[in-house]
Amino acid sequence: MGKLERKNTLVAYSFLAPNFIGFAVFTLVPVICAIALSLFEWNGGDISKLKFVGLDNYATIFATKKVAEKGLAYFFNRADLGIALKNTVYYTVVTVPLTIICALALALLLNKIRGAVFFRTVFFFPYVSSMVAICVCWSFMLMKDGPVNQIIMALGINFNKGWTADSTMAIWSIILVSVWRNMGYYMVLYLAALQGIPRELMEAATVDGANKWQQFWHVTLPQLKPTTFFVSVMMVISCFKIYDVVAIMTDGGPGRATKMLVTYIYDEAFIKVRYGQASAISMVLLVIVLLVTIIQFGSEKKFSND
């Protein structure tokens, strides 16, 4: 290796080192510690009280003796965990398509209209705003006498429930805030994809007599498949990790109506101080997200451009 080549290599490593060190300190080491801790029983405090229990923490999670009695909510031995998993899956199944539809609709609307830059900034702004401020504002708007209910009642619908205080509406308040905050970010991705569609395709569709809907369905939407695939993967991972919105707006309540897997893990670790159990559940969540992502990548060919 020549002197110049060695110098260039060192410069390259100096640029890569801060990012790698940050990843190792804040991601890699905590993950390794969580994997190791899932094999121990530890209630905090003196580290000498760590007790190796092997896979007992996992066995406790997957004990299914109550399945025949109570159904899905009791798939796991602990009812809270079953409910948290059910709520997380429900939240993900609803939030991902809703966000994609809203982001795509916004992108189509703002692709060529006058003043598009201003509106793009407006819709992107929630994504870079403080999550605490967003949740506090939405909590106020979704109160029993808040602006949202006032608008609904002005439309002639008798609706006077506080969204975050009602067990059936609380999870929808979480979904609403998540969709509203994230759609601006994914709108930007769709805008970039829309501007990359070759004009020749649209001109050929027009010459063939395709109307606007046929152009969208047979030309635009197929060309957006790679972007839709990327957005769906990122959204699914993000939804399974939902914590901040729930913690600020409902704290998992009322009752257990908005309890999610990550809030359950937090309660296990920092409220009940069962670090081993919390780490084991974290590993289960990691495997769930990994499996879902592998399944999505398995269908990647369906999302490639024709």
User: What pLDDT score does 155 carry?
Assistant: 87
Cross-strand bridge partners of residue 40: 52
Q: What is the pLDDT of residues 94-123, one digit of tens each?
A: 999 999 999 999 999 888 777 778 888 888
Residue 306 has pLDDT above 60, yes or no: no
The overall pTM is greater than 0.95: no
Contacts of 120 (CB under 8 A, 6+ apart): 110, 187, 188, 191
> CA 93, 95, 101, 106: dihedral to nearest 10 degrees?
-170
User: What pLDDT score does 303 carry?
Assistant: 63
Q: What is the pLDDT of residues 238-271, one digit of tens each?
A: 999 899 999 999 888 788 889 999 999 999 888 8
Q: What is the pLDDT of residues 116-163, one digit of tens each?
A: 788 888 888 888 889 899 999 999 999 988 888 899 888 888 888 888
User: What pLDDT score does 78 carry?
Assistant: 67
Q: What is the pLDDT of residues 164-194, one digit of tens each?
A: 888 888 999 999 999 999 999 999 999 999 9
User: What pLDDT score does 205 carry?
Assistant: 87
Residue 9 has pLDDT above 50, yes or no: yes
Banded pLDDT at 6 (limits 50, 70, 90): confident
User: What pLDDT score does 36 carry?
Assistant: 92
pLDDT, the chain, mean: 86
By the 8 A CB rule, do 274 and 61 touch? no
Q: List the one residue out of 305, 125, 109 whose CA is nearest residue 226.
A: 305
Backbone angles phi, psi at 230, to 5 degrees: -60, -45
